[in-house]
C-alpha cells in the first residue's frame, strides 16, 4: 500500500498510538518520504506527571515508527484540554515541538463544537475533522474558513463514512434504516449518473480549496488504487444534497448503540 501511495503522489500517513500495531507496522515497512501524523491517546486518570507521561508516549511512538520526529501530533481526545490537566497537557505538547520531535500540533475532532470550546484558549497548527457528503458541519458552521483564515492546516477524514457510503444499498445494515430516504437518494444519484460511489464521495472534499489533505481509509493496495483512480476523475453531474446532522448517523462512535 505504501508503494502504491508513493507512486501516486500521496505524501502523508495518518496513524495513532491507539490503532493496534499500525505504528509498529509502519516502522517495519519504513515511512521515508512520507509526512507521518500520529495521535496521542487520552491521559490516564490521576497522572502524577503529565509532562513525563506525554514525553514517554511520544518517545515510544517515535521508536515504533523508527523516526526521529513526526510531522503532526494530534490529541485523539481533544476535550482533555478542557479538563484539569489541560494547561499542563498543552505545555507538554509545546515542549515536544521545542525539542523538534513534532512539527505540527493539533487535535482530531468529532464535531466542530469542540473547536468553539478550545480555540479561545489554545492555538493549533493542524486540525483533523470529519467531512463527507452527509456530514458537512465543518463547512456549514464556517469553521473550515475560520481555520484556513487562521493559518491552520486542515485534514478531513471519514470521506466514505467508514465505508458505509461505498456499500451496495442492499448491504447497508438494517440499523441504518432510519436514514433510508438518504440512502435512496444517494443510490438513485449513482444509478442516474453512472458514477462510482468513490468518485462521488471524493469529489466533495477534493473540491474545497481550504482542505489541505483528505484522509482515506483503505484495506488493501487494490482499494487504494481504486481511490487514486476515482480521485483523478470528476463526477459528470452536481453532487446530491445528502447533508444530515443526526449524530447517530454521522458519528461512527455511536453506531454500536444503534
Ligand atoms: N472499493 C471499496 O470497497 C473500498 C475502497 C476504499 C475504502 N473502503 C472502505 O472504506 C473504509 C474507510 O472509510 P473512511 O476513509 O471514510 O474511514 P473513516 O470514516 O475515516 O474511518 C476511519 C476511522 O476508524 C477508526 N480506526 C480504528 N482503528 C483504526 C486504524 N487502525 N486505522 C485507521 N483508523 C482506525 C478511526 O477512528 P478515530 O477517529 O476515533 O481515530 C478513524 O476515524 C475502509 O476501511 C474500507 O473498508 C472500501
DSSP 132: S
Q: Give dist(CA 174, CA 157) in Å, integer.
A: 24
Cell of 155: 485534514
Average pLDDT of the segment spanning 218-240: 95
Question: For the segment 17-46, what is each residue's pLDDT rounded down to a tens digit?
Answer: 999 999 999 999 999 999 999 999 999 988
Average pLDDT, rounded, for the chain: 96
Which three cell numbers mark 69? 520526529
Residue nearest to atom 48 of ligand 1 (CA): 163
Domains and CATH numbers, the chain: 1-130 (3.20.20.100)
pLDDT tens-digit map of 154-180: 999 999 999 999 999 999 999 999 999
Closest of 35, 42, 44, 212 to residue 129, by C-alpha: 212
Give me the residue label for grid cell 469529489. Answer: 203
Q: Which three cell numbers stand for residue 120?
A: 479561545
pLDDT at 62: 98
Q: How confident is the model at residue 194 (pLDDT cuts 50, 70, 90)?
A: confident
Calpha distance 194→86 (Å, rounded): 50
Neighbours of 210 (CB within 10 A): 17
Rounded CA gap, 140 and 217, in Å?
A: 24
Strands (E) located in 35-118: 35-40, 70-75, 102-108
Residue nearest to atom 4 of ligand 1 (CA): 223
Residues with CB under 6 A from ligand 1: 16, 19-20, 22, 108, 157-163, 166, 216-219, 223, 226-227, 252
- pLDDT of 177 reads 97
pLDDT of residue 195: 79
pLDDT in tens, 79-130: 999 999 999 999 999 999 999 999 999 999 999 999 999 999 999 999 999 9
Atom 2 of ligand 1, nearest CA residue = 223
Residue among 79, 163, 228, 252 whose CB has most ligand 1 atoms within 8 A, to mutate: 163
Q: Ligand 1 center to residue 84 CA distance, Å?
A: 32
CB 52 within 8 A of CB 95: no
The reported pLDDT for the residue numbered 36 is 98
User: Closest ligand 1 atom to the C-alpha of 216?
Assistant: 15
Angle, CA 91 vertex, CA 87 and CA 97 arms, to 5°: 150
Mutate to test the pocket of ligand 1, among 217, 222, 251 (most ligand atoms within 8 A of CB): 217
Q: Sign of dihedral through CA atoms 204, 207, 212, 215?
A: positive
Strands (E), 95-196: 102-108, 126-130, 153-157
Amino acid at each position: 500500500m505504501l508503494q502504491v501511495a508513493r507512486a501516486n503522489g500521496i505524501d502523508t500517513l495518518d496513524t495513532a498510538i491507539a490503532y493496534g500495531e499500525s505504528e509498529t507496522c509502519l516502522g517495519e515497512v519504513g515511512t521515508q518520504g512520507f509526512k507521518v501524523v500520529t495521535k496521542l491517546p487520552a491521559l490516564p486518570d490521576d497522572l502524577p506527571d503529565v509532562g513525563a507521561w506525554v514525553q514517554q508516549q511520544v518517545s515510544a511512538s517515535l521508536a515504533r515508527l523508527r523516526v526521529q520526529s513526526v510531522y503532526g501530533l494530534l490529541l485523539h481526545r481533544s476535550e482533555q484540554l478542557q479538563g484539569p490537566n489541560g494547561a499542563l497537557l498543552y505545555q507538554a505538547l509545546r515542549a515536544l515541538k521545542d525539542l523538534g520531535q513534532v512539527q505540527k500540533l493539533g487535535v482530531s475532532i468529532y464535531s466542530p463544537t469542540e473547536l468553539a470550546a478550545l480555540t479561545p484558549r489554545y492555538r493549533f497548527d493542524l486540525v483533523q475533522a470529519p467531512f463527507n457528503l452527509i456530514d458537512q458541519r465543518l463547512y456549514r458552521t464556517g469553521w473550515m474558513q475560520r481555520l484556513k483564515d487562521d493559518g491552520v492546516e486542515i485534514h478531513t477524514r471519514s470521506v466514505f463514512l467508514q465505508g458505509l457510503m461505498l456499500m451496495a444499498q442492499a448491504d447497508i445494515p438494517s440499523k441504518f434504516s432510519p436514514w433510508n430516504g438518504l440512502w435512496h437518494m444517494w443510490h438513485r444519484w449513482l444509478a442516474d449518473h453512472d458514477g462510482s460511489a468513490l468518485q462521488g464521495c471524493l469529489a466533495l472534499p477534493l473540491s474545497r480549496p481550504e482542505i489541505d489533505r483528505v484522509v482515506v481509509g483503505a484495506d488493501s493496495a487494490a482499494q487504494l488504487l481504486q481511490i487514486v483512480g476515482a480521485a483523478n476523475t470528476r463526477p459528470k453531474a452536481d453532487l446530491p444534497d445528502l447533508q444530515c446532522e443526526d449524530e447517530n448517523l454521522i458519528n461512527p462512535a455511536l453506531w454500536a448503540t444503534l
